[in-house]
Amino acid sequence: MNTREGTNPVPPSASPRRLDGLLFFPVTAFDADGRFAPGGYREHVEARIADGPGAIFAACGTGEFPALAPDEYELCVRTAVAAADSRVPVIGGCGYGTALAKEYARAAERAGADGLLVLPPYSADGGQDGLLRHYTALADSTDLDLILYQRDSTVFTPETVVELAQVPNIVGFKDGRGDLDLMLRIVSAVRTSRTPGEPELLFFNGMPTAEMTQPAYRAIGVPLYSSAVFCFAPDIALAFHGALEKGDRKTVDTLIDEFFRPYVQLRHKRPGYAVSLVKAATRAAGHEVGAVRAPLTEPDPEHVAELLALLDRARAALA
């Protein structure tokens, strides 16, 4: 429960402990001069809230967290909180070394966030002891709930996750590496170490275009996932999520075959397309979110056109 001075208490319905449904990672809107655009961002967030996501993850990976200045970050999270109006939890991105991560946590608190998605401390490898020091120190510095993010060179052992799961405000673990063997061992270790009555640790699939791997993640006990496609095609993202929930394998396979697999192949054509192609498609869907910031670059127009054609094909298949 967020009770820190300067923030609003989090309603029980908005606690990150109660995350459910498809998770929305909005792109961050910039104007023609490359400045953060609160109006365009709020419009994008409000439009997607109407489609019923389980939570908003503001200023995270899809939202270009590393490209935001600290004051922009706080305004971005504050804008998402205002747009959500306590209807769903708002989770702010957080990252870098321990000292900076604490600053971002304080900014998220001031903005009224309900929790933090903690990106890895890049360019620092202190082993498992270093990870324990970093995340426990961050958790001790804030009342916000934390979701830890395993990706790139930051890899947790099952024993480290078990220890971190004992920290009261570490509530979730997100995997962006795709090592299902390791992830199953983490899920199993946390499950068998849990004392009856203790809150369960939430597990998330954080792979790019998570729909491609979610059937496998779901099978090993990872029910939650984020959908970048929800930014620009909520109908397709929700159709897939609903089919997965109902066990409708035919629709799942149709959407993988007709859209998600060719979309991933398209995404692999250029570095940075996991964000820049999503943002371009969001613009094409009618949202004034602007271009990506350096070091990302805009996608080739023909690749955007190819993506829009894939969307038409997927909708025809669903119809």
The residues that are catalytic are 149, 174
Residues 242 and 272: their CA atoms lie apart, in Å, by: 29
H-type helices in 36-169, by residue range? Answer: 38-49, 70-84, 98-111, 127-140, 158-164
Residues 57 and 49: their CA atoms lie apart, in Å, by: 12
**Angle, CA 303 vertex, CA 297 and CA 309 arms, to 5°:** 140
Q: Which residues are 117's β-sheet partners?
A: 93, 147
Sign of CA dihedral 107, 99, 206, 19: negative
Residues 196 and 217: their CA atoms lie apart, in Å, by: 24
Select from 100, 97, 66, 123 the least CA-distant residue to 293: 66
Query: E-assigned strands of the chain?
Result: 23-24, 55-58, 90-94, 115-118, 145-150, 170-175, 202-205, 224-225
Name every residue whose Cβ is closer than 8 Å to that of residue 190 and which is 6 or more positions away in sequence.
158, 161, 162, 165, 173, 201
User: Strand order in 23-24's β-sheet?
Assistant: 23-24, 55-58, 90-94, 115-118, 145-150, 170-175, 202-205, 224-225
Residues 39 and 120: their CA atoms lie apart, in Å, by: 30
